[in-house]
Structure 1
Amino acid sequence: MASTGTTRGRNEDRAKVAGGQDNEVKYEAGKTGARKADVKSVGNSRKKIEDKLKE
């Protein structure tokens, strides 16, 4: 039976982009209007990616 824990792990996971997961990188690239290589070069923090690439 699964325990009913907190959503902490999920929230921490959603705050990052998995660079090895093409679908996540592609989604962020499309959302910011950048290339996939640009998303990977910024790092894995969604906040940093959005701040840096929306400029």
Structure 2
Amino acid sequence: MADDKSKRDFRDRDRVSADEDYEVEYFAAKAGVTPQQVKELIAKHGNQRETLEREAKALRGNG
């Protein structure tokens, strides 16, 4: 089931959902990586935003 964007609260701001394309695409654009790389990072490291930001930065540094 898709997120109801009209219902916003604090609960999942610290996570990125691999199942929601708009979240993956937004995070990818913000982090400077591809959506596919975001999905791979989520699969490898989990969906905590802070961890993903750190790993995306490291990935950009290696590329």
Alpha carbons 1:25, 1:36 under 8 Å: kept: yes
Whole-angstrom CA distance in 2 between matches of 1:15 and 1:24:
12
Whole-angstrom CA distance in 1 between matches of 2:29 and 2:35:
8
RMSD: 1.4
Q: How does 1:1-55 map to 2 (within 5 A)?
A: 10=10, 12-43=11-42, 44-55=47-58
Whole-angstrom CA distance in 2 between matches of 1:49 and 1:34:
11
* Unmatched runs of 5 consecutive residues or more in structure 1: 1-8
Q: How far is the alpha carbon of 1:40 from its aligned partner?
A: 1.0
Q: Which one-letter code corresponds to 1:54 in the other structure?
A: K
Identity fraction in percent: 35
Q: How far is the alpha carbon of 1:37 from its aligned partner?
A: 1.0
Tell me the residue number matched to 1:4: none
Name the TM-score, length of structure 2 as normaliser: 0.65
